[in-house]
């Protein structure tokens, strides 16, 4: 079972597939679309934490820029009714820290922003993931691997990442997050930013 890949990034598709050459062999790896642009320049070095998914008709590699993201993916696919494709979609929309916040606060609405996730599935995810994810302590939010108070500067970075994962361009993201309130949660700031984007389109 492949646990990681270190090699050269040969190609990147819009759908989130990377071609990584390791020792003369090219590996096709599916990654969250939110992180496909964070894996380096074409022709440059790349390192991915890998989950190997074995089916009767295929062996599929899923790659992640952090061990934490891979852990969240594996927690998702261990959940009833959630396959690798849906798990990847969830992590394409929500970072691991945003996913943990949603689970810790029972925020089903955040999960339903993922295509294919309805209210019933979101409710089941909230219930099952509480036992599978390391959740932040009450009153704290997790950004990367650090617990921070809601409304900190790191919250704005999460908003930028979420908007980029939804397909908004750098200029749109910059305009949407400009002058966001400092005391809001990530979810509140994201909703406000999305309203601004909708109003300008």
Tell me the domain boundaries of the chain. Answer: 4-64, 67-129, 149-200
Dihedral angle over CA of 174, 176, 182, 183, nearest 10 = -150
Question: Residue 8 pLDDT more than 80?
Answer: yes
- Give the model's confidence band at 37: pLDDT under 50 very low, under 70 low, under 90 confident, else very high: low
CA distance 63 to 60: 10
Instruction: Look at 34 and 75; give whichever has higher pLDDT.
Output: 75
Residue 20 has phi, psi (to 5 degrees) of: -115, 125
Quote the tokens at residue 47: 């390192």
Please, which pLDDT band fits residue 144 given cuts at 50, 70 and 90?
very low
Q: Give the pLDDT of residue 102.
A: 85
What mean pLDDT is predicted for residues 176-201? 76
Instruction: Give the distance, in angstroms, between the CA of residue 94 and the centroid of all CA atoms in the same chain.
Output: 4
Cα gap 128→56, rounded to integer Å: 27
Q: State the pLDDT at residue 35.
A: 63
pLDDT for 39 equals 66
Q: Average pLDDT in the 121-143 region?
A: 71
For residue 150, what pLDDT band results from cuts at 50, 70 and 90? Answer: very low
Of 42, 38, 33, 82, the closest CA to residue 62 belongs to: 33
Architecture of the domain delimited by 67-129: Orthogonal Bundle (1.10)
| pLDDT for 197 beyond 70 | yes
Taking the mean position of all CA atoms in its chain, how far away is CA 112? Answer: 14
Average pLDDT for 146-168: 61
Q: How far is CA 113 from CA 46, 86, 91, 102, 192, in A?
A: 30, 12, 12, 12, 15
Predicted pLDDT of residue 98: 86
Pick the more confident residue, 161 or 89: 89
Mean pLDDT, residues 121-140:
75
- 29 compared with 80, residue with greater pLDDT: 29
- The region of weakest confidence among 56-65, 105-114, 148-157 is 148-157
pLDDT, tens only, 46-95? 999 999 999 888 899 999 988 889 999 999 999 888 899 999 999 999 88
Average pLDDT, the chain: 81
CB 74 within 8 A of CB 99: no
User: How high is the pLDDT of residue 133?
Assistant: 81
Query: 4-64 falls under which CATH superfamily?
Result: Nucleic acid-binding proteins (2.40.50.140)
């Amino acid at each position: 079972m492949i646990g990681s890949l270190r090699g050269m990034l040969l190609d990147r598709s819009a759908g989130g597939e990377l071609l990584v050459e390791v020792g003369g062999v090219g590996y096709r790896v599916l990654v969250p679309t939110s992180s496909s642009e964070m894996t380096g320049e074409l022709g440059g070095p790349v390192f991915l934490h890998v989950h190997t998914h074995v089916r009767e008709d295929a062996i599929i590699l899923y790659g992640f820029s952090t061990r934490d993201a891979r852990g969240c993916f594996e927690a998702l696919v261990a959940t009833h009714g959630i396959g690798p494709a849906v798990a990847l979609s969830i992590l394409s929309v929500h970072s691991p820290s945003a996913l943990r916040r949603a689970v810790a606060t029972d925020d089903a609405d955040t999960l339903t922003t993922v295509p294919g996730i309805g209210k019933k599935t979101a409710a089941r995810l909230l219930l099952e993931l509480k036992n599978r994810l390391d959740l932040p302590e009450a009153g704290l939010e997790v950004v990367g691997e650090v617990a921070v108070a809601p409304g900190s500067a790191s919250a704005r970075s999460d908003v930028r990442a979420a908007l980029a994962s939804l397909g908004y361009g750098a200029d749109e993201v910059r305009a949407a997050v400009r002058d966001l309130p400092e005391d809001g949660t990530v979810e509140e700031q994201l909703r406000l930013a999305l309203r601004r984007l909708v109003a300008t389109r």
